Amino acid sequence: MIRKSIPLGLSVCLLIVASAWAQPGGERGPSARASMERRFNESTPAIGEPLPDVSAFDEEGNEFKLSSLKGHYSVIVFGCLT
């Protein structure tokens, strides 16, 4: 069911991460998760702050500025093929 409720590639990411955390004796665990969350919160803009002025590309390879995300609500989700 998860395959249909979450896009395949992202569900793969989630399953992989969930599994890594579940590894007994593995490197990850609750503390690793808390550490990642803390690092994420510290290294990303705080609530109410603008996105950093960073450029990347749109699907056609044209320049795309994060700062251009204005005028409407936007949702940004980091994903991957793997």
Partner 1 sequence: METIERDYSPKGVKFYYVYKALAHPETNGYITPFTLDERLMHVKEAKRTLGTRFNWICDTMSNDIKHSLGDAPNCEFVIDPEGKVVRKRVWSRPDELRKDLEELVGPVEKPTTVAELNMQTPPRPKQAAIGVVPRIELPGRLQAVKVEPIIEDKKTPFYVKLRAEADSALISGGEGKLYLGFFLDPLYHVHWNNQAEPMRFELTLPKDVTASPSSGTGPKVDEPADSDPREFLIDVNGKQSRKPIELTVHYFACDDAETFCIPVTQTYLVYLESDRDGGSRMGAGRGGPPALAGGPGGRGPAGAPGGPREMMRRLLSFDRDGDGKVSIDEAPPQMREFMFARLDTNEDGFVDRAEIEARFSRPGPPFGPPGERPRPDQPDETNDSTLDNTKPADIAARYLKYAQSIVAKYDANADGALSPDEWAKMSNPPANADTNGDKRITVEELVDWYVKQ
Shortest distance, position 29 Cβ to partner 1, whole Å: 15
Shortest distance, position 33 Cβ to partner 1, whole Å: 9
The reply to whether 78 sits near partner 1 by the rule CB under 8 A is yes
Q: How far apart are CA 45 and CA 47, in angstroms?
A: 7
Site residues for partner 1, window 14-43 (CB under 8 A)? 14-20, 23, 27, 36-37, 39-41, 43
φ and ψ at residue 8, rounded to 5 degrees:
-55, -55
Burial class (CB in 10 A: 0-12, 13-18, 19+), 81: exposed
Shortest distance, position 30 Cβ to partner 1, whole Å: 14
Give the total of residues touching partner 1 (CB under 8 A).
Answer: 60
Which contiguous run of DSSP H or E holds residue 40?
helix 30-43
